Chain A
Amino acid sequence: MLGVLFDGIAYGSLLFLVSLGLSVTMGLMNFVNLAHGAFAMAGGYVCVIAMTRFGVPFLATLPIAFVVTAIVGAVLERLLYRRLYGASHLDQVLFSIGLTFMSIAAATYFFGSSQQPMRLPEFLRGQVHLGGVDFGIYRLFLVAVVAALTAVLGFLLARTRFGAQVRASVDNAQAARGLGIDVDRVFSVAFALGSGLAGLGGALGIEVLGLDSSFPLKFMVYFLLVVAVGGAGTVKGPLVAALLLGVLDVAGKYYVPQVGAFVIYAAMVILLIAFPAGLFGRRR
C-alpha cells in the first residue's frame, strides 16, 4: 500500500517535471503542443548517448540533457512555433503532430525502435528498508531531485521579476504587453526552460518510463492530462495533478491490472467535464 503510493509519487513527480513546460506553452500562448513528449525523448537519448558513447557518468548527463533540449526548444520556438501563436488550434495540432511524427521517425532511424539500455550507477541501485516497506533508492533520488527543482521553480515563479512577468502574461497577455512586458521574450525563455525540464525529465525517466522511439506518442496523453487537469500558470496545479495521476495510474495498474489504463482515461474524461478550466485553473 505504502509502496504503491510511493511508486505513484515517484512516477507523478516525473510527469510533473516533463509537463511543466507544456503547461507554460498551453497556458501562456494558448498553444496546443502535442510534440512536447519529443523534447523529453530527446533528453533521454542525449543521456543515453553521453553515457554509452562518451562515458559520461549518469549524474553529469542530467545537466547536459537539460541544456541540449533547452537549446533545441529555443531554436524550434524561434523558427517554427512562434509563427503559429495566432493560428487556429487545428493548425497547431497538425503542426505538432507533424513534428511528433518526424521526431519518432528520426529516433527510429538513428537508434532503432527497441528500448534503450540503461545502467544506473551502483549507488542509485537497490532498495532501502524503512518501517517494513522497501523503497527503491532511485525513486527516492527522483523524488528528492524533483522536490528540489520544484522549490527552485516555485521561488522563480513567485518571487522573481521573471516569474511575475510569466504570471502576468498568463493572466492577460495583452495587458502585460501594454505594461511594457516583452511577452514574446518571456515566452521564448519560458519555452526553452520548459523544453529543458522536459529533457531532464526524459533523462531521469529512462529507468521508470523506459525510452524508445514511440515515447512521444505513448506518453502524450499523460502530459496533456496533467496540464488540462492542473491548469496553467502555476507550479502547484500541475504538481498536484501529476501526483494524483501518477498515484492513480500506478494503483490502477497494481490493483486492477485487467482494467489497465482504462482508469486514467476515464478519470481524464470525467475531470475534463467537471473542471473545464482545470482543478487550479485561473479563470479569465
Chain B
Amino acid sequence: MSALRGGRLIEVAFWLVPLAAFLLLPGYLMLGSQILIVALFALSLDLILGYAGIVSLGHAAFFGLGAYAAGLLAAKGWGEPLSGLLAGGVIAALAGFVASFLVVRGEDLARLMVTLGIGLLLYEAANRAAFLTGGVDGLSGVAMGKIFGVFAFDIGGKTAYLYSFAVLLLVFIFLKRLTSSPFGLSLRGIRENPARMPAIGSPVRARLVTAYTIGAAIAGIAGALLAQTTQFVGLDSLGFNRSAELLIMLVLGGTGRLYGAIVGAAVFMIAQDYLSGVNPVYWQFWLGLLLVVFVFFARGGILGAVEAAAKRLGRSSQERAR
C-alpha cells in the first residue's frame, strides 16, 4: 500500500517538473512546448510498438496528417484550436484505421515495409500537392484563434506551452487507463505471444486494429498541436527522419512504459537542442553511435536501467535487513 502511495508521489512529482520549468525557465518555453508535443507523439508510438508490438517505420505519416489537417483548417479561416485539434486526431484516426488492415496482417518485415511505404507515399503526396500544402516551402498563414475564446497564443509561447501540457496530461491519463485495462493487458499478451492469444479467445486482429487506430489518432493530435503552436507545417513533419527519430526517442526512454516515451522525448530533444547547436553533423553521428550502443548494451532504455538499478538497490537493502 505504501509502495503504491510512493509510486503516486513520484508520478505527481514527475508532472510537477514541466510546471516548474514553466515558471523557472521562461526563456525556454518554445523548446518546452516542442518537448511536450514530441512526448505526446512518442506516447502514440509507445502504444502500438511498446504495448502492441507493431514495428513501424512510418509513424510520422499520422503526425503529418494531423498537422496538415489542423494547419489547413486554420489557414482557410477556421482558427478555433480545440476543434482543429479534434479534426487532426479524427483524420489521422481514419487513415490509421484504413492502414491498420494492411499493417496488421503481415510479419515484422512486411510491417516495416508497409509502414515505410505509407509514410513515403504521404510525404510524396504532400510534396506534389503544393497548391494545397505549400510543398517544400511548407504551409504558412496558419492563423489561430483563442482557446475557449479567451486565451490567445502569445509571442512568448506561454499559452502554447500550457495548452500542450494540458493535452499531453489528458492523453497520458487516457493511455494510462487504457494500458492497465483488460484491453491493454490483451495487447501485451499479443506482443508476448501472438500464437497463444487467439487460443484463449482474444480477437487479435481486432485488438491490433483498435490499438493502431488509437495510436494514429494520438499522433494526429500531436501533429495538430505542433501546427497550431508553431503556426506552420513543414514537409519534414511527414518525413522518414521524423519516424526514425521518434523510434530512437522511444528506445532511449524505454519501450512499453508510458513514462519511457516522455523521458526519452525530453532527453532527446534537449540533447538535440544543445548538440545540434554545436554542429548538426556531429549530432547525427553521435545519435547513430548512441543507437548502436543502446541496441547492444541497454535495451530497456533509460527507465529500464533505472528500474534495474532500483531492483538491485532494493535487493541489497533486503539482504542487509536480513
The one of A104, A228, A268, A269 in contact with B284, judged by C-beta atoms closer than 8 angstroms, is A104
Complex contact B295–A95 (CB within 8 A):
yes
Residues of the B chain whose Cβ atoms lie less than 8 Å from the Cβ of A80: 292
Known: A26-B109, A93-B55, A217-B240. A268 touches B117 (CB 8 A): yes
Chain A interface residues toward B at CB < 8 A: 26, 30, 32, 80, 83-84, 87-91, 93-95, 97-106, 108-109, 217, 221, 224-225, 228, 258-262, 265-266, 268-269, 272-273, 276
Complex contact B124–A228 (CB within 8 A):
no
Chain B interface residues toward A at CB < 8 A: 49, 55, 57, 102, 106-110, 112-114, 116-118, 120-121, 124-125, 127-128, 240-241, 244, 247-248, 251, 281-282, 284-285, 287-292, 294-296, 299
Known: A90-B55, A217-B240, A272-B110. A105 touches B295 (CB 8 A): no
Distance, CA A276 to CA B104, complexed state (A): 13
The one of A104, A108, A266, A276 in contact with B106, judged by C-beta atoms closer than 8 angstroms, is A276
Return 11 A-B CB contacts under 8 Å, by A number.
A83-B296, A93-B55, A95-B292, A97-B247, A99-B292, A101-B288, A105-B282, A262-B125, A265-B121, A269-B117, A273-B102
The one of A88, A221, A258 in contact with B120, judged by C-beta atoms closer than 8 angstroms, is A221
Shortest beta-carbon distance from B62 to chain A in Å: 16
Distance, CA A151 to CA B72, complexed state (A): 54
Complex contact B124–A262 (CB within 8 A):
yes
- Cβ-Cβ contact count across A and B, 8 Å cutoff: 115
Residues of the B chain whose Cβ atoms lie less than 8 Å from the Cβ of A261: 120, 124
Residues of the B chain whose Cβ atoms lie less than 8 Å from the Cβ of A30: 109
Residues of the A chain whose Cβ atoms lie less than 8 Å from the Cβ of B121: 262, 265-266, 269
Complex contact B288–A105 (CB within 8 A):
yes
Known: A90-B49, A91-B299. A98 touches B288 (CB 8 A): yes
> Which of A89, A90, A102, A261 has its CB near the most chain B CB atoms (within 10 A)?
A90
Shortest beta-carbon distance from A34 to chain B in Å: 8
Query: A261: nearest residue on chain B (CB-CB)?
Result: B124
Distance, CA A221 to CA B114, complexed state (A): 11
Distance, CA A84 to CA B281, complexed state (A): 27
Distance, CA A89 to CA B111, complexed state (A): 11
Distance, CA A118 to CA B107, complexed state (A): 42
Residues of the A chain whose Cβ atoms lie less than 8 Å from the Cβ of B295: 84, 87, 91, 94-95, 98
Shortest beta-carbon distance from B83 to chain A in Å: 31
Complex contact B291–A97 (CB within 8 A):
yes
Known: A224-B113, A259-B128, A265-B124. A98 touches B240 (CB 8 A): no
Residues of the B chain whose Cβ atoms lie less than 8 Å from the Cβ of A84: 295
Q: Which 4 A-B pairs have the closest CB atoms?
A: A98-B291, A101-B288, A105-B285, A102-B288
Known: A260-B128, A273-B102, A276-B110. A101 touches B117 (CB 8 A): no
Shortest beta-carbon distance from B294 to chain A in Å: 7
> Which of A80, A105, A225 has its CB near the most chain B CB atoms (within 10 A)?
A105
Distance, CA A221 to CA B55, complexed state (A): 17
